[in-house]
A and B are shown apart, each in its own frame.
Chain A
Amino acid sequence: MYGVGGGGGGFNAPSTTSGRRRNPGDEEEDEEEETGEGRVLEAWERAYADDRSWEALQEDESGLLRPIDTKTLVHAQYRRRLLLRSAADAAVRIQKGLIRYLYIVIDLSRAASEMDYRPSRMAVVAKHAEAFIREFFDQNPLSHVGLVTIKDGISHRLTDIGGSPESQIKALLGKLECSGDSSLQNALELVHGYLDQVPSYGHKEVLILYSALNTCDPGDIMETIEKCKKSKIRCSIIGLAAEIFICKHICEETGGSYTVALDESHFKELLLEHAPPPPAIAEHAAANLIKMGFPQRGAEDLISICSCHKKIKSGAEGYICPRCKVNVCELPTECRTCGLTLVSSPHLARSYHHLFPVAPFDEVSSVPNRIQRGVQNCFGCQQNLFNPDGQTSLHVRCPKCSQHFCLDCDIYIHESLHNCPGCESQRSFSSQ
């Protein structure tokens, strides 16, 4: 389903590379491109030749053109994903790995400088990785992320594994250059070495953003895969080029997910799917009780030196570690002096919605107005649910509280709010 040539976006790669190979000696400029006949194509002409812009139009029943109703398309796509996810959750007892130690491996080999993703694969990867890191820390505040790169067949650790997004993002925005081959085995070996030092209650994960079509390894990659499997590291790969057997094999063996992106927006979608915690296999992480501290803000008149920047700060601007009483600037963090993990209760509360998700809503098909009495407006936003022709447009209904919601509220409730307004506005006097 995800191979080369699937869908409109995938055709970009073959046409541009074949064009380049046929005229290797020609100069390539930014706005124009050579075709086989030697005529220069303008950018707007490329929209027809390469991007097939006529595919964005649809015909309705009488043969007249109309633009695609993106809203119902987006909603239908969204519901499919949601149903898939909840079906998977319902099958096993919901246990999610909430404390995650994730290494992101970025491929900086020669293949990453290809320009089928504009401006280049590496730039697109860096941009979306930054958005992913922010989203990741938003959904998993107690987790840690580190960055590793593969270049010239050797993998380097770009940043140490850490609990705050700023240092990772700063490294991503720095100058990144591509060259050489890529080696999956070296990357996995490096990550395996680092993830071994992680506490046993954490879920170990690797996310590889792979642009190359091959891997040049110094040894037997199957052994490395066995090692990772034994250390319970969950490895997922997002490919930018084509489906590769070894990547699929790694993901199957370690229990991760392998997907190949068709174009830039698809890549972003696939990447952000890795932000919510994956269903956890119970034996992969020991269920411990971790000692954590809940610091309070210091008094206004307390002046001390903060332990992270070594600068003088007033007590009211920082937090006081409950065990060793040093000043820390922000949460969540690990106290530098005594090693206690410091969090505040909203950080823990941010993860609770993963444990109590909202049930998917049922679709309610359009019915004429006279049959459905009493349902005029969406319960959440009071938007009129009726089409101008008197029928109710497509909307949804919560199975628990039977309130009707419009499509936009449905998407908002399930993606961001995680509360059903109807269920919350009802008092259930039975013990919850």
Chain B
Amino acid sequence: MTSAHSKLYSDDVSLVVVVVDTNPFFWATAALPFADFFANLVHFVNSILLLNHLNRVVVIASGVSSCAYIFDSGDASPAGGVGVAATFDKASRKVEEFIAQDAHATASNSSAASANAASLLSGALSLAMCYIQRIFRSGTRHPQPRILCLQGSPDGPEQYVAVMNSIFSAQRSMVPIDSCIVGTQDSAFLQQASYITGGVYLKPQELNGLFQYLAAVFATDLHSRTFLRLPKTLGVDFRASCFCHKKTIDMGYVCSVCLSIFCKNQKKCSTCG
């Protein structure tokens, strides 16, 4: 599988794939309204596109029941100023359409989607990786890709295996996954993602100044990051949780066949027997 690619493009051209969490359950109770958040995001995307005329940005929305591509700067017409405003209008409309469709899909599914419902981070990361592979295939002259996740909802434990698969695939392709947490709790999945792939994990303290955090920390391309002191996470908790009680353990018993983790020694593995 492809790993390092020759950098025949100039060093500081980047492709940023932004994964936006549009979980309505989270945004209904969030401190920052979604409209302000989206405005901050649009300014950030604009500023990345201004840094270098070859930069590209793709926005993927992850909802509660579906994920979709919202915006691709590569699709925009090459005409200048008028085009820019029109494309961002298009993006805003698409986001609204997507949220409406997603809400419809959630309602029609009708089981107890509680306030703790997670957004489909695994689906959005998989879409992002497929898009990035397409960029790698497009020849030796391509931008340096990276993924930025703006996450607010809590982690869904049922997505653990899928999220880890995406993370390992990103690690093999050398694509860093940055995370910016706009919710109240830290996300263990994204902490591990940023640690394993070499990205930046940030939980801003003041959400009103979100644009400033985004522009200062996440806007720089991969080559220039070596000259900056970016926020470092101190301790990523890599301990596993046992399958029986879901508590994190220091030492446990692992089944040699199915790799399920238990906290106490048992005669038979309850997963595979």
Which residues on A are within 8 Å of B, measured CB to CB? 95, 98-99, 138, 201-202, 280, 285-297, 300, 322-323, 340, 343-346, 348-353, 355-356, 378-383, 408-409, 412-413, 415-421, 424-427, 429, 432
Residue from A296, A350, A383, A427 having most chain B Cβ neighbours under 10 A: A427
Nearest Cβ on chain B to A61's Cβ, whole angstroms: 29
Using Cβ atoms and an 8 Å threshold, which residues of chain B touch A293? 250-251
Contacts of B113 in A (CB 8 A): 429
Task: Say whether B265 contacts A346, CB under 8 Å.
Answer: no
Provide the bound-state CA to CA distance between A381 and B15, in Å. 14
Contacting residue for A427 out of B106, B134, B161, CB 8 A: B106
The one of A323, A346, A351, A427 that contacts B251, using a Cβ cutoff of 8 Å:
A323
Query: Contact: B239 with A350, CB < 8 Å?
Result: no
Interface stretch, picked from B47-55, B63-71, B220-228, is B63-71
B272 on the interface (CB 8 Å rule)? yes
Contact A346 B164 (CB under 8 A): yes
Contact A425 B255 (CB under 8 A): no
Q: B272 touching A287 by the CB < 8 A rule?
A: yes
Q: Which B44-80 residues sit within 8 Å CB-CB of chain A?
A: 64-69, 72
Min CB distance, B158 to chain A, in Å? Answer: 5
Q: Which of A355, A417, A418 contacts B258 (CB 8 A)?
A: A355
A412→B159 CA distance, assembly (Å) = 20
Looking at the assembled complex, report how far the CB atom of B262 sits from the nearest CB atom of chain A, in whole angstroms: 6
Q: Which of B129, B173, B192, B269 is most buried by chain A, counting CB atoms within 10 A of its CB?
A: B129
The interface residues of chain B lying within 8 Å CB-to-CB of A380 are 126-127, 130-131
B66 interface neighbour in A295, A426, A432, Cβ under 8 Å: A426
| Cα(A289)–Cα(B252), bound, Å | 9
The 10 closest A-B pairs by CB, nearest first: A380-B130, A425-B123, A201-B256, A424-B123, A289-B253, A381-B134, A421-B126, A322-B250, A349-B164, A425-B67
Query: Does A349 lie within 8 Å of B256, measured CB to CB?
Result: no
CB-CB < 8 A to A348: which residues of B?
A: 240, 254, 259, 261
- Contacts A296-B250, A380-B127, A381-B134 aside, 14 further interface pairs with beta carbons under 8 A come to A98-B257, A294-B249, A322-B250, A343-B254, A345-B240, A352-B164, A382-B131, A416-B173, A420-B126, A424-B67, A424-B159, A425-B126, A427-B120, A429-B113
Known contacts: A288-B256, A383-B134. The answer to whether A432 contacts B158 by CB under 8 A is yes
* Binary contact track B186-202/A, C-beta < 8 Å → 1, others 0: 00000010001000000
Give the Cβ gap from B20 to chain A, nearest Cβ, in Å.
14
The complex places the Cα of A336 from the Cα of B235 at a distance, in Å, of 24
Shortest distance between the CB of B114 and any CB in chain A (Å): 11
Is there an interface contact between A289 and B259, defined as CB atoms closer than 8 Å?
no
B235-A289 in contact (CB<8A) = no
Asked whether, in the complex, the Cβ of B169 is within 8 Å of the Cβ of A417, the reply is yes
Q: A346-B164, A349-B161, A427-B106 are in contact. Are A381 and B64 (CB under 8 A)?
A: no
In the complex the two chains form, is A346's CB within 8 Å of B196's CB? yes
Q: Which of B137, B161, B166, B257 has a CB less than 8 Å from the CB of A352?
A: B161
Q: Of B235, B257, B272, which one neighbours A297 at CB under 8 angstroms?
A: B235
- Contact at A355–B235, with CB atoms within 8 Å? no
Residues on A with C-beta less than 8 A from B253 are: 289-292
Subset of 12 A-B contacts with CB under 8 Å = A98-B259, A287-B255, A287-B257, A289-B265, A289-B266, A297-B235, A346-B167, A381-B131, A409-B130, A412-B130, A421-B127, A425-B66
Residue count of chain B within 8 Å CB distance of chain A: 65
Interface status of B237 (Cβ within 8 A of chain A) = yes
| Residues of chain A contacted by B110 (CB below 8 angstroms) | 429
Inter-subunit contact A417/B254 (CB<8 Å): no
Q: B168 at interface (Cβ–Cβ under 8 A)?
A: yes
105-124 of chain B: CB within 8 A of chain A: 105-106, 109-111, 113, 120, 122-124
Pick the residue among A286, A294, A340, A429 that contacts B240 (CB under 8 A).
Answer: A294
How far is B25's CA from A427's CA once the two chains are assembled, in angstroms?
Answer: 15
Q: Which of A300, A345, A413, A425 contacts B238 (CB 8 A)?
A: A345
Interface residues of B in 153-205 (CB under 8 A from A): 158-162, 164-169, 172-173, 192, 196
Q: Which residues of B contact A356 (CB under 8 A)?
A: 161
User: Chain B CB within 10 Å — which of A98, A285, A425, A432 has the most?
Assistant: A425
- Which chain A positions have C-beta within 8 A of B85? none
If A138-B172, A290-B253, A346-B196 touch, whether A421 touches B123 (CB-CB below 8 Å) is yes
Query: In the complex, which residues of chain A have a beta carbon less than 8 angstroms from the beta carbon of B137?
Result: 408
The CA of A294 and the CA of B238, in the complex, are separated in Å by 7
Q: With A292-B251, A382-B69 given, is the CB distance from A408 to B134 under 8 Å? A: yes
Inter-chain contact A289/B254, CB cutoff 8 Å: yes
A296 and B120 CA atoms in complex are apart in Å by 29
Are the CB atoms of A352 and B256 closer together than 8 Å? no
The distance in angstroms between the C-alpha atoms of A99 and B262, with both chains bound, is 17
Interface flags, B64-107, vs A, CB<8A=1, else 0: 11111100100000000000000000000000000000000110
Contacts of A349 in B (CB 8 A): 160-161, 164, 168
Asked if A425 contacts B256 (CB within 8 A), the reply is no
- Which one of B240, B252, B259 lies within 8 Å of A351 (CB-CB)? B259
Residues B238 and A296 in contact, CB atoms below 8 Å apart:
yes
Of A286, A300, A322, A416, which contacts B169 at CB under 8 A? A416
Query: Would you call B120 and A346 a contact (CB within 8 A)?
Result: no
Cα separation A413 to B131 with both chains bound (whole Å): 12
- Least CB separation from A288: chain B residue: B256
Cβ-based interface call for B133 (8 A): yes
- In the complex, residue of chain B having the shortest beta-carbon distance to the beta carbon of A428: B109
Which residue of A is nearest B250, CB measured?
A322
Please determine whether A296 and B126 come into contact, CB atoms closer than 8 angstroms: no
Residues of B within 8 A of A429 (CB): 109-111, 113
Asked if residues A346 and B130 are in contact (CB atoms below 8 Å), the reply is no
Q: Give A379 to B67 CA distance when docked, in angstroms.
A: 10
Residues of chain A within 8 A (CB-CB) of B129 are 412, 417
Min Cβ gap A269→B in Å is: 14
Given contacts A322-B250, A419-B126, A427-B106, contact A346 B266 (CB under 8 A): no
**A308 to B: closest C-beta gap in Å:** 19
Q: A382 vs B68: C-alpha distance in the bound complex, in angstroms?
A: 10
Let me know if A355 and B66 touch, CB within 8 A.
no
A426 to B124 alpha-carbon distance, docked (Å): 11
